[in-house]
Amino acid sequence: VSRATPREINEHGKHLRVNPESLVYASRMSAKVDSAAVQDGYQLYHHCFLFDEGGEWIVIQQGINQKRADARRYHWPLEHNGFIDEPQGAILCDTRLPRVLDMTDSVSAENRKACVDIVKENPGRLRKAILTPVPAKQRRLDAWNGAGEREQLVMPRCVNWDTLREVYEFQPRGYEELVAFKGVGPATIRGLSLVAELIYGERASWEDPVRFNFAFGGKDGVPFPVDRRAMDEAVDVLKTGISSSKVRDEEKTRAFARLRRCVPPIPDFRK
């Protein structure tokens, strides 16, 4: 993520009709939300913040998962729904993970409220909830009520207790202020979410918000040559979707024309 973005925004402040600090905040929050509030294991390494003189902005940023050797892209559109409640227009990747903590999902709304309630109390209670071990002889209620094995929640090993003390003294008014607070990172977000579920019973979303994209390789052969068969199959899917859509014939014709422009001739690297 470019740490020069705030400076570059302020350098162009004289051309803006809005306070550049609002854009600096948007840049910082979009990066923090996609790295801390959406915990998918992809480390942000590219942050592109586009804005005009009127203060309109979009974000395109990319994260990488070195273990999986793939990347995903996060798109923030012009029409913003705030910074917390499903703010991204799309999160694109070829891989859907089985378990991702997504605090921006609407399903997590009550969990977010519970997190704010927790940090506004003395952090000693939270520390006790996270660090107190379960006695070895203690049995779970599931063994008696026939519920069987349930999903176990794993607390993060590292929580910044000094930061939580500062958050408690700050008394955030909402989840956005909590996430924006300096020092609140992925481990703190995750720990609060899990405690909110244990204490308040408010479950967060663990569904990967990613959408699949149509990526088949580079026309220049980098990082790998285009997979022609996969590309043809994707084009067929799009053609079928256009043909079966309930729109006027003129609109279908324009859609097919746009599709043809998106599928230019691909050089054959096998020659």
Contact of 164 with 126, CB cutoff 8 Å: yes
Range of the domain at 189: 106-200
Do both 91 and 127 map to the same domain? no
Q: Is 208 part of a structural domain of the chain?
A: no
- pLDDT value of position 221: 60
pTM: 0.73
What per-residue string of b and e applies to 231-247 under the rule 16 or more CB within 10 Å gives b? Answer: beebeeebeeebeeeee
- For 134-187, the pLDDT digits (tens) are 566 666 555 555 544 445 566 666 778 899 999 999 999 999 999 999 999 999
Do both 19 and 54 map to the same domain? yes
Q: Is 205 part of a structural domain of the chain?
A: no
CA distances from 204 to 90, 197, 209 (A): 20, 7, 13
* Pick from 99, 119, 68: nearest CA to 207: 99
Domain boundary among 98, 128, 151: 98
Which amino acid, 42? Answer: Y
Do both 110 and 191 map to the same domain? yes
Domain boundary among 51, 74, 98: 98
Domain boundary among 98, 132, 164: 98
- For 219-241, the pLDDT digits (tens) are 556 555 777 777 788 788 888 98
Separation CA 108–CA 75 (nearest Å): 20
Q: Is 216 part of a structural domain of the chain?
A: no
For the cut 60, the answer to whether the pLDDT of residue 11 exceeds it is yes
Separation CA 226–CA 59 (nearest Å): 27
